[in-house]
Chain A
């Protein structure tokens, strides 16, 4: 009798239609996707850092940067402050939309975009006035490779932020978590770009 009841109950909740996509019970798709993406990006940067430290430690030139080249540490420090502050503004944008404050979200996204664009503009200006090119010694190559790779990531981040900002001004996004994924995902990416710059700044300009 009991088994009959169980069978009847199971039959009532039977799934109709196509089978559900296979999914791990341990990790959801979005988290797995962004984790794999960030891990792959860390590996890309890791390859460039390995080349940089190979040049500095294994090749071990007498002067770093090689004479007569000099790196604009103060300008890079200012750029670092700009990029770090942009992480705070994107966080403000997300906190605002979580509380239902659309104006705050728009302001935060706009400020983030402007700070990111300023960072990129200063970096391009730095390239124009730095006095060496990517063809000048291995130092020039690794300097432009590392900072350029990061600059490319900032550019992609700016594109993502542009889409998010346009959508915000069109009235998209809401306080529910599922309704502001379009801001949260670019936000996570932007924070990742920010963390990578902090490491690039420390290794290339300071150490």
Chain B
């Protein structure tokens, strides 16, 4: 397993796009809507991180 700058940069772009979307939604609606969407994105991020970790662990065992 290797962490490269390219991989982290990809996440800067993804988080940047998500934050831009949340800022737009919050400014167009209410802060509560933005907070709920942020919570959903955080949960989705945690699920993605967990699945990534399980996949990497399985790969390293094989």
Contacts and interface: CB of A to CB of B under 8 A. Distances in A.
B38 interface: yes
A149 to B, nearest CB: 18
Contact of A191 (B2, B12, B22, B26): B12
Interface residues on A, range: 20 to 34
Contacts, number: 65
Nearest to A194: B12
Nearest to B59: A26
B19 A202 contact: yes
Interface of chain B: mostly helix, strand, loop or mixed:
helix
Contact of A26 (B1, B15, B23, B31): B1
Interface of B: 1-6, 8-9, 11-12, 15-16, 19, 22-23, 26-27, 31, 34-35, 38, 57, 60-61
Interface of A: 25-28, 31, 34-35, 84, 87, 90-91, 94, 184, 187-188, 191-192, 194-195, 198-199, 201-203, 206-207
Given A91-B5, A195-B15, 13 more contacts: A26-B60, A27-B1, A34-B3, A87-B12, A91-B6, A91-B9, A184-B4, A187-B9, A188-B3, A191-B8, A191-B9, A195-B12, A207-B26
